[in-house]
């Protein structure tokens, strides 16, 4: 087993990017009021309002599970249903937190096209039952970019939100990789969120370059009512809030949020291009953000493991590689060469 200088098992393997770290150090230069009454939290909130070109409500929480599950709980009563993709993080990776924090709202999963929800699948599920014995569909949750590394276009989000309006549903976006989607589409954050009908966005920080932290952004003030209490009750109100908010300021004011996402996307595209044309290795999903899913015989994946590469295969058995702000292009190239070699070795 060879030690690799860097692994691409997940985009949260990366450290804190320099811009976020500098902002955190600056916030450490003196004492400041607690629980979000400090100047950095105010400035970070304003930076989100500037970025999204609207007077949104912003809450800083520790991680994505908290962001998603508390946001969904704010949109739901305990007897409601939340429609999402079968492989959505809120369904498969949050240990039931959305149901827990909503006191029992039920997640209803819909079939997808490569991980993307479609209006037809949402409508079929939302209208399948209208009786009192089944939880009342209330929210649709989509993931941008998806767990399969795909990106919903503006038109696709629009089509989903128009359906939501027609059926009286609210729209939540799990944006753990929202920055990557903005980078892919070369699209302003506003144009990929509230302008296409998203009610609440969980904007991912950890995978974008923070040490920890996600931002819950409400575009409808009424939905944010009492959300601060919800965060506090759930253990998500940081007493030294500035250390959670200041790094965001570093990301947003310097533009690092977008540079970081572009870099991750570029590395994913680079890898996918270098492994084109191999007889037994293919892409399970189109590469649209910072993920590459390789479909390959078990023997090829074993060779990659023996060569020391770490990766997950929990989505359809494909080997997943994820690229963050710190991905070293030389190491990405080394991975590409090893994939080519592992594939060739099978032909002998």
Ligand X SMILES: *Cc1c(COP(=O)(O)O)cnc(C)c1O
From the list 75, 176, 182, 319, which residue makes contact with ligand X (rule: CB under 6 A)? Answer: 176
Give the strand pairing for 80-85 and 106-110. parallel
Closer to ligand X at the Cβ: 112 or 343? 112
**Is 106 within 8 Å of 82 (Cβ atoms)?**
yes
Q: Is 91 in the site for ligand X (CB under 6 A)?
A: no
Q: Which of 6, 7, 63, 158 binds ligand X (CB under 6 A)?
A: 63
Segment contacting ligand X (CB under 6 A): 45-53, 60-68, 190-198, 270-278?
Answer: 60-68
CB of 280: closest distance to ligand X in angstroms? 28
Name, in order, each residue with C-beta under 8 angstroms of 100's C-beta and a sequence gap of 6 or more: 69
Q: Residue 87 interacts with ligand X (CB under 6 A)?
A: no
Q: CB of 41: closest distance to ligand X in angstroms?
A: 20
- Least distance to ligand X from the beta carbon of 268, Å? 14
Cβ atoms of 335 and 273 closer than 8 Å:
no
User: Which lies closer to ligand X via its Cβ, residue 81 or residue 205?
Assistant: 205
* From candidates 19, 138, 147, 326, binder to ligand X by CB under 6 A: 147
Closest approach of ligand X to the CB of residue 172, in Å: 11
206 binds ligand X (CB under 6 A): yes
Restricting to residues 230-269, which ones interact with ligand X according to CB under 6 A? none
Residues 6+ apart with CB under 8 A from 219: 52, 54, 56, 193, 194, 198, 199, 200, 201
Options 58-66, 249-257, 263-271, 276-284: segment touching ligand X (CB under 6 A): 58-66
Residue 174 sits in the site that holds ligand X (CB under 6 A)? yes
Smallest distance, ligand X to C-beta of residue 13, A: 12
Sheet of 80-85, strand order: 57-61, 214-218, 200-204, 170-175, 136-143, 80-85, 106-110
Site size with ligand X, rule: CB under 6 A: 11
CB-nearer residue toward ligand X: 147 or 199: 147
For the bound state, the minimum distance from the C-beta of residue 89 to ligand X, rounded and expressed in Å, comes to 3
5-44: contacts with ligand X (CB under 6 A): none
Among the candidate windows 64-72, 116-124, 185-193, 259-267, which touches ligand X by CB under 6 A?
64-72
Segment interacting with ligand X, rule: CB under 6 A, options 62-70, 100-108, 255-263, 327-335? 62-70
Binding of residue 143 to ligand X (CB under 6 A):
yes
Binding site residues, ligand X, CB under 6 A: 63-65, 68, 89, 143, 147, 174, 176, 206-207
């Amino acid at each position: 087993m060879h030690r690799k200088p860097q692994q691409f098992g997940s985009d949260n393997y990366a450290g804190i990017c320099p811009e976020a770290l500098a902002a955190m150090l600056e916030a450490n230069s003196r004492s400041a009021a607690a629980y979000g009454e400090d100047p950095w939290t105010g400035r970070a909130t304003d930076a989100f309002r500037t970025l999204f070109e609207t007077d949104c409500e912003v809450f800083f929480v520790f991680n994505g599970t908290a962001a998603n599950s508390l946001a969904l709980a704010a949109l739901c009563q305990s007897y409601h249903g939340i429609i999402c993709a079968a492989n959505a993080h809120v369904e498969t990776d949050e240990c039931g937190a959305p149901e827990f924090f909503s006191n029992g709202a039920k997640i209803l999963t819909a079939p997808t096209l490569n991980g993307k929800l479609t209006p037809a699948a949402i409508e079929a599920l939302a209208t399948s039952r209208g009786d009192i014995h089944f939880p009342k569909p209330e929210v649709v949750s989509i993931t941008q970019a998806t767990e399969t590394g795909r990106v919903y276009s503006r038109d696709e989000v629009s089509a989903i939100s128009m359906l939501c309006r027609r059926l009286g549903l609210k729209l939540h976006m799990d944006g753990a990789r929202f920055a990557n989607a903005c980078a892919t589409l070369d699209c302003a954050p506003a144009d990929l969120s509230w302008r296409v009908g998203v009610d609440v966005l969980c904007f991912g920080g950890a995978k974008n370059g923070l040490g920890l932290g996600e931002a819950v952004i409400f575009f409808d003030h009424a939905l944010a009512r009492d959300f601060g209490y919800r965060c506090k009750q759930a253990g998500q109100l940081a007493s030294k809030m500035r250390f959670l908010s200041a790094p965001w300021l570093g990301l947003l004011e310097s533009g690092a949020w977008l540079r970081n996402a572009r870099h991750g996307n570029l590395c994913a595209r680079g890898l996918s291009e270098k492994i084109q044309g191999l007889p037994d290795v293919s892409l399970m999903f189109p590469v649209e953000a910072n993920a590459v899913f390789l479909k390959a015989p078990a023997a090829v994946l074993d060779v990659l493991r023996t060569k020391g590469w770490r990766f997950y295969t929990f989505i359809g058995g494909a080997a997943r590689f994820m690229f963050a702000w710190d991905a070293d292009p030389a190491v990405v190239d080394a991975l590409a060469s090893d994939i080519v070699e592992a594939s060739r070795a099978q032909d002998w």
